[in-house]
Structure 1
């Protein structure tokens, strides 16, 4: 009885402490954190704004992160405030017309702001390589699993501080680490050589994982059970870490949400970035060559000017950096599809998926509730998407491009024919979602599933609460971002004035989703504990997705998942593109014995025969 009294007395003292225990970080110093509380009795420990690399300023601008010699401090560092976000355009400025958010981002950020008692003040800095660690407020002998979060934002914006992990950490007993990494021109500019090889934002993420590996045990985490976790660009980052030798051994499993490394235009190649280097040099009146002088010039540019002038010059993203440096190995030696085809990756358990209407809000014209698209709009948008896949190297290939377009049009034409604009809108969304999200997730699973368990999902469950659907037309299911409502337990994080605006069903669903995602972090299996749902791993012979909808959570069938479309995009379509553009790549014989026109005519005939055979 006396032992029970001592235990309860000790527990009371622990809960009454005003701040969590201090942590000594390896080769840096001691930090003190804070408790984040809700309803007085519920709390988690938070250690905010911890530097994981030297500030990437001055001579460290456009250089890999320096983390062998970490920032140090005397005494106890106060880790109770967020560090500034990495440099990016402030979308809230009235004059920032060029960097307006997409509709799904705008609505989701508005929803997140309703969760706050008062709006957060946004601060940006070039000195931004910091992370946050959130820890359950419990004594536990065994190590907690660690979930490392890479935020989204298309590699040009975003913050590790936007998503509140309180509910995940409190209820699911995991350690959550959110990471800032360099963005836009600061994180992804490359001179295509040894001076500025690029991919610095991804190398920042690697540095953060090294920090986690070295320190998370002191917070109660298990260094052998680290799950990297991302959405949008963060999900693409997850895929790139699976491929890169730099990240091998730094994590044990991965969650990829609404972003895929195999999606079109995910990474750049050197040939397409040559003009970008010229544009940057010209924009800042720097000598283009030699590149060490260009680098010296750019390092002297004011950071705000570098952002304001430099960000609009390119669609900044990761690049295939093979051959850029003779002193270090590339982060990404080949395009992702080739690396997966050649098994150049480290297999780990993966959970991956997407929502049923990722891009629907981009089609929502003038906020009209029932606006559809015409047949002409359908055809033009579809053709534009396909045209981006075709490299035009010779004008005589024009006819062959039409054959490629015709193959896609044949597969996606409405049967029976219709002029109903809402039907055509649905048809276009199916086409785009299948191509960009469904097929790439399917292909990723086919590669990874041979070596490790892969769990796929499609999120069809639209929130029941009006507060979550504000501004979203009724015909739209789950747009980009809105699955995060359930992943992070937003219904439980509402401000007191909004708490009753969340439907109890959304709270129940959120509990299930958080449990499955953290089950995966704990056990590499999403339904291992506390969930009575049958979620089968993906197999080539049985390619199942968990369909998360309002009726039930069930494995996919041919009735609710278009596997034929996935095979079309992953198997048939690449062959059509290859054969349809082959004449563009053929080099003429100097003798002129066979003209390019006759070659393309033959190729056109072969293309049509090929298409007819495959579609028959």
Structure 2
């Protein structure tokens, strides 16, 4: 009885505190955080704007993060103000290289509508900060820690966009969000020792090292860290699996709607040579020697570097083997080869995608019709053509052989002229190729070493507020699974709470429970949910299908395994035979395919042109 009374007293005392306890960080100093509250009684502790490396400015621009000699301070540092985002431009729909996609625009609008006041969008080159969210209750054993890397195609994004309040409050995990360098600041490389590149990924590894050194002070378990990412953040998670820099800094991984084996995930050196020339020319710098080029670039104003430098290339990670004789490469080989050779960290993995990731890219506002047979054939051929287009006219000798193989596999049976069916067939083809097959291939690489849990998210929100701007025929586009993962229906403003359907609130609780179960126990259905989610096995490949009816394991009717085998096994052989006259080095893809943002944009343009001509 005395124990119960003492516990009640401690809880009452904790809840009555105006500020969370102060934390002393290793080799830095002491910080004071703040409480984030909901309905007065619900709160979590937040420590934000914590530096995890020295500011990457001046002579540290285009260098690996300095995290052995961390920023220090005397007295108590206020960790209650969010740091600015890393340098990035405001998104525009008309951008060719980094367009503001419809799914990003709609999701951003939804997030903004749930804020009491607009978030200040500040950017700075001094941006290597992280935020730590901690449950506000008494616990003896260490909490698991989820370290989240945001998306944004490696050119934009913010660790503050998604609020983990409800995940931390209800699921009792520590949540860490990380800012890392983007675009030219994070991924420019001189292809040598002067600036090897991959600085944004090295930033993430530095943040993981900071977590190892400090998370115990927040009540976390450094031996139970789960890296977690969406979009480019998910690709980052995959790259950490194969990089020696990150080995030992995490115990499990979650990758949502982004796959390290997806088309053109990383660059290779010979394709980047022209980028170095472009950058030197754009800023009137000497191209060689590269130390002079860097001296010149480091004198450029950060805003000018962003405005002029960002549009010069598709900034992304690069295979950096052989660049430096003083440090080891972050990415020594193409990810597909590293996984094939079983060179990766063996940890449990949870990964998947939505059923219509790219549907909004093909949606023409005001036109709810489907696509014609002619449109279907042309767009499918455009995607395949991007796999076999090489700067050598002789490479096109047998393209019809390749096209016929794909057309045969994806032709509608029985034949149909129904434009709605043809639109669905094209989206199935594209999703199978770009998302399904690569996820399947990744699982095949990993599953013999550690448990892998796959999912496909088919559950479209019930709430009108979440579906605004999304046509009825579209299932779950890119980003919209995050509504459930981050408990958005529970975070609405009081006047908007009734706009969220109770079913979305219930589903969100289940999704958060499964994701946090994985962080706690490496098993998403370990406790609190009655769902059968079996790990993927070679003899029994399974996905959890998350839909409105039920959460059930996949069957041949819900997952087209034969299509995945087609893209990962048969199709590469057909492409190899069809292009055997051109011994071009293969790109990085588990399916030997090359679909860049330019291809997506050309598909959109082609779709609109065909509409106009029809």
Match of 2:323 in 1: 324
- Per-residue deviation, residues 152-204 of structure 1 (Å, max 9, x unmatched): 00000000000000000000000000000000000001111111110000000
1:75 corresponds to which residue? 75
Q: Distance in 1 between matches of 2:9 and 2:453?
A: 44
Tell me the residue number matched to 2:40: 40
Match of 1:373 in 2: 371
Are 1:461 and 2:459 an aligned pair? yes
Contact 1:90 1:96 in 2 (8 A): no
The 8 Å contact of residues 11 and 137 in structure 2, kept in 1 or not, is answered as no
Residue by residue, what CA displacement relative to the aligned partner does 1:397-436 show, whole Å, maximum 9, x if unpaired? 2121222122111111112222222211111100110011
Residue pairs, 1:438-449, within 5 angstroms: 438-449=436-447
Q: What is the CA-CA distance between 1:240 and the residue it aligns to?
A: 0.2
Q: Which runs of 4+ in 1 moved over 3 A?
A: 1-7, 94-100
- 2:603 aligns with none
Aligned ranges 1:391-470 → 2 under 5 Å: 391-470=389-468
- Mark the CA change 1:519 to 1:378 in structure 2 (over 3 Å): closer, same or farther: same
Which sections of structure 2, spanning at least 5 residues, go unmatched?
A: 585-614
Aligned to 1:333: 332
CA RMSD, Structure 1 to Structure 2 (Å): 1.5
Question: CA shift at 1:582, angstroms?
Answer: 1.1
Task: Give the whole-Å Cα distance in 2 for the aligned partners of 1:549 and 1:508.
Answer: 13
- Structure 1 pair 105/367, CA: closer, same or farther in 2 (3 Å)? farther
Give the SS at the match of 1:584: coil
Give 2:228's aligned residue.
Answer: 229
Tell me, in whole angstroms, the C-alpha distance in 1 between the residues paired with 2:135 and 2:540.
38
Q: Structure 1's 386 and 173: CA in aligned 2 closer, same or farther, altered over 3 A?
A: same
Aligned partners of 1:6 and 1:366: how far apart in 2?
A: 62
Q: How far apart, CA to CA, are the structure 2 residues paired with 1:303 and 1:283?
A: 14
Question: 1:226·1:250 contact (CA, 8 Å) conserved in 2?
Answer: yes
> Per-residue deviation at 1:389?
2.0
Alignment match, 2:197: 198
Which has the larger Rg?
Answer: 1
Q: Distance in 2 between matches of 1:3 and 1:249?
A: 39
Instruction: Work out whether residues 86 and 123 of structure 2, in 8 Å CA contact, stay in contact via their aligned partners in 1.
Output: yes
Contact 2:388 2:395 in 1 (8 A): no
* Deviation at residue 284 of structure 1 after TM alignment: 0.5
Residues 347 and 448, structure 1, Cα contact 8 Å, conserved in 2:
yes
Secondary structure in 2 matching 1:507: helix
Q: CA deviation at 1:539?
A: 0.2
1:168 and 2:161 matched? no
324 and 431 in structure 1: CA distance in 2 versus 1, 3 angstrom threshold: same
Q: Which residue of 1 aligns with 2:259?
A: 260
TM-aligned CA deviation for residue 391 of structure 1: 5.0
Contact 1:378 1:424 in 2 (8 A): yes
Equivalence map 1:599-614=2 (5 Å): none
Give the CA deviation at 1:386: 1.8
Question: Take 1:97 and 1:457, find their aligned partners in 2: how far apart are those partners?
Answer: 32
1:274 to 2:258 alignment: no
Matched, 1:559 2:539: no
How far did 1:3 drift?
A: 5.0
Displacement, 1:9? 2.8
The whole-number CA distance in structure 2 between the counterparts of 1:206 and 1:399 is 45
CA apart distance, 1:583:
1.4
Q: How many residues align?
A: 584
Tell me if structure 2 keeps the 8 A contact 1:393–1:584. Answer: no
Structure 1 SS opposite 2:387: coil
- The equivalent of 2:356 in structure 1 is 357
Partner of 2:309: 310
State which drifts further: 359-368 or 482-491. 359-368
Counterparts of 2:123 and 2:98, CA distance in 1: 15
Matches of 1:256 and 1:95, distance apart in 2: 29
Q: How far is 1:344 from its partner? A: 0.9
Please list the CA deviations of residues 54-99 of structure 1 after superposition, one character each: whole Å capped at 9, or x if unmatched.
000010000000000000111110000110000000238x998986
**Structure 1 residue 382, shift from structure 2 partner:** 1.7
The reply to whether residue 118 of structure 1 matches residue 117 of structure 2 is yes
Q: Which runs of 5 or more structure 1 residues have no equivalent in the other structure?
A: 587-616
Q: In structure 2, which of residues 483, 496, 508 is the aligned counterpart of residue 510 of structure 1?
A: 508
TM-score under structure 2 normalisation? Answer: 0.93
The answer to whether the Cα contact below 8 Å between 1:46 and 1:80 also exists between their aligned partners in 2 is: yes
- Work out the CA distance in 2 between the residues paired with 1:123 and 1:86: 9
> d(CA) in 2 for partners of 1:320 and 1:98?
21
8 Å Cα contact 1:364-1:371 kept in structure 2: no
Alignment map for 1:528-539 (pairs within 5 Å) = 528-539=526-537
Q: Which residue of 2 aligns with 1:592?
A: none
